[in-house]
Every structure is written in structure tokens, then in C-alpha cells.
Amino acid sequence: MNILDKIVIDKRKEVDLKKELIPIDIFERTPYFERKTISLSKKLRTSQTGIIAEFKRKSPSKSVINNTVNIEDVAMGYEHAGACGMSVLTDEIYFGGFLDDLIIARENCSLPLLRKEFIIDEYQILEAKGFGADVILLIAAILTKAEIKQFSELAKSLNLDVLLEVHNEEELHKSIMPSLDMLGVNNRNLKTFDVSLETSKTLSTLIPNDFVKISESGISSIEAIKELKPYGYQGFLIGENFMKTNNPGASASQFIKSLL
Ligand SMILES: O=C(O)c1ccccc1NCC(=O)[C@H](O)[C@H](O)COP(=O)(O)O
């Protein structure tokens, strides 16, 4: 069984258990639920750099990345660095993240926040809103076309932006629909962990211009961004390159300054 299938099986168990323990309407009563969300797609359309900086403690492909920095400092650091948005991995088993990380990030910066999660149930979308997210991620590899439609329409009804992630042509073709804001091409094959920026280049021409295009994973140099921009990418999701340092905010700041 590949890692993605394993993650989805564990996620199903986790969500089913939570649904038994925490009624969904609780999320509608959090202080964050009524908050006016910030649109990442709108910010990216006018951003000079388009950097979405990620908070990522560990990953299935790299094991531990950074266990010492705290999310308060990193959220403030990313905002100060001039990032366009922040991605927060909330999966605990595989990425060492927590839902509370979203709240802590929300309290420490005013960047649009992406809940980076393996969303397989509407419950997680209400939860994302209740914990201060502005954007949700939908991964085409783990969802049917009907689920992508159902989940993205629910997110839009809650004023959340939707980032749909693909890795190949088949996933892209099944996914394109008006309820998405951004199309992300993951340069990492989530089943084998192979990373290649060629994936973003190849798929770019197939993405209609109405969507903001984001290139995700394996970006570690200014040269990579310069290579990808001519293919129409306006957003660049970067995790490990910043998180592997002692000071991810300072690392993002240096990176963003070199881009301007
Ligand atoms: O990062 C992984 O190893 C991974 C494995 C399986 C599923 C998802 C995975 N990562 C999620 C992401 O999409 C990345 O964290 C994000 O794009 C940033 O990537 P990077 O800059 O390479 O840390």
C-alpha cells in the first residue's frame, strides 16, 4: 500500500472518531467562524513574489524537519518576511501538526492561512473555518469528481478559498470546475516522493487562465521561481526550504528579498 492510501485510511478513522466526540455545530460557534476571511487567490493575483510559506515539523518523505521552532515565531516571521500566505499542516500522525497550530498562527499574523490537510469529509471544512483558516486544500488524488464539487461548493458557501491540488493530467481533467479558486501542481509524487519541477511546467498549459496557478513542493532556490514564472505560476508553496533552518522567518525574508 502506498503512503497516500495509508494516510487516507488513518484520516477516515480520525474523522469518524472526532464526529462521534465533537458535534459539527460547535465549529459554527467559535469566534473565528464569523470572521471575515482573507482571500489568498486575490492576494496572489497582485503579489510580486507569491510566496506561500509553510509550517511543517516533519513529513513522510523527510521524517523530522524542525522540532524546535514554535509556530508563534514562525507565523510572525513569515508575515514580517513579506510572504503572501501561510500554509499550516494540521495532520498529527504524518506531519506532527495540530489543529491548534491554526489558531496560534491566526493569533500571530494576519496572512491568509491555508489549512493543509487531507480533506475527505465536509466535517473538516467546517472545522477549518472554526479554527481560523481562510483557505482549504483539496487533493484530487484522494477525491472523486463529485466530492471535489461538493467540498469546494461548501467551502465557497463559507467564504473560504479553495486550492485544488493535482499531480497529473488525469487528476487535472476530472477537477476543473468553477468552484475552485486556485490550481496547485504538486511537484512531489505523493505515492513515490519523487520531486520534479517539470511536473509544474508540463501541466501549466492545461490549466485555464481563470485559476491562479500555484507550484507546490521541492522549491528551494530563486532560480526555480524564475524558471516557473514564465509558465504562468503566481504562487509558490515552500515548506522544507524554510523550515529546515533555525529561523524559518529569517530564511523566508532572505529568500523573498532576493526575489524583489
Ligand atoms: O512532504 C511530504 O513528504 C508529503 C508526503 C505525502 C503527502 C504530502 C506531503 N507533503 C505535503 C506538501 O504538499 C508539502 O508540504 C508542500 O507542498 C511543501 O513542500 P516542500 O517545500 O517540499 O516542503
Could you tell me if the CB of 115 is within 6 A of ligand 1? no
Q: Is the pLDDT of residue 1 over 90?
A: no
Q: Residue 243 CA: which ligand 1 atom is closest?
A: 23
Q: Where are the beta strands (DSSP E) in the chain?
A: 51-55, 58-59, 63-64, 85-89, 113-116, 135-139, 161-166, 182-186, 212-216, 233-238
Q: Is 190 in the pocket of ligand 1 (CB under 6 A)?
A: yes
Over the stretch 47-65, which tens digit does the pLDDT of each residue have? 999 999 999 999 998 889 9
C-beta 61 within 6 A of ligand 1 = yes
pTM of the predicted model as reported, rounded to 2 decimal places = 0.97
Digit-coded pLDDT (tens) for 19-28 = 999 999 999 9
pLDDT tens, residue by residue, 240-250? 999 999 999 99
For residue 186, how far is its CA from the centre of ligand 1 (angstroms)? 8
- Evaluate whether 195 touches 175 at the Cβ level (below 8 Å): no
Count of helix runs (H) and strand runs (E) in the chain: 11, 10
Q: Return the ligand 1 atom nearest residue 184 CA.
A: 17
Considering the segment(s) 3-259 as one domain, its CATH architecture is: Alpha-Beta Barrel (3.20)
Grade residue 36 by pLDDT with cuts at 50, 70 and 90: very high
Q: How confident is the model at residue 190 (pLDDT cuts 50, 70, 90)?
A: confident
Residue nearest to atom 19 of ligand 1 (CA): 217
Position 119 pLDDT exceeds 90:
yes
For residue 186 and ligand 1, the question of a CB distance below 6 A is answered with: yes
The pLDDT of residue 61 is 87
For the segment 132-161, the average pLDDT, to the nearest whole number, is 98
Q: Any idea which residues carry the catalytic annotation?
A: 54, 56, 116, 165, 186, 216-217
> How many angstroms is it from 255 CA to the middle of ligand 1?
19
Residue whose CA is closest, atom 3 of ligand 1?
Answer: 61
- Closest by CA position to 32, among listed 118, 104, 94, 119: 104
State whether the beta carbon of 237 lies less than 6 angstroms from ligand 1.
Answer: yes
Nearest to 12 by CA among 155, 169, 166, 119: 119
pLDDT band, residue 191 (cuts 50/70/90): confident
- For cell 518576511, name the residue: 81
Cα 198 to Cα 207: distance, rounded to the nearest angstrom? 15
Three-state DSSP class for 64? Answer: strand
217 CA distance to ligand 1 centroid (A)? 6
Asked whether the predicted pLDDT for residue 175 surpasses 90, the reply is yes
User: In ligand 1, which atom is closest to the CA atom of 219?
Assistant: 21
The DSSP bridge partners found for residue 215 are 185, 236
Q: Tell me, what's the pLDDT at 27?
A: 96
Q: What is the mean pLDDT of residues 109-135?
A: 98
Give the ipTM of the model, two decimals please.
Answer: 0.98
Cβ-Cβ contacts under 8 Å for 250 (sequence gap 6 or more): 77, 81
C-alpha count within 13 angstroms, C-beta hemisphere, residue 74:
29
Q: What is the mean pLDDT of the chain?
A: 97
Shortest-distance Cα residue to atom 10 of ligand 1: 59
pLDDT at position 63 is 85
pLDDT per position as a tens digit, 226-236: 999 999 999 99
For residue 89, the ligand 1 atom closest to its alpha carbon is: 15
Which residues have CB under 8 Å from 43's CB, separation 6+? 84, 85, 112
Q: How far apart are the CA of 54 and the centre of ligand 1, in A?
A: 9
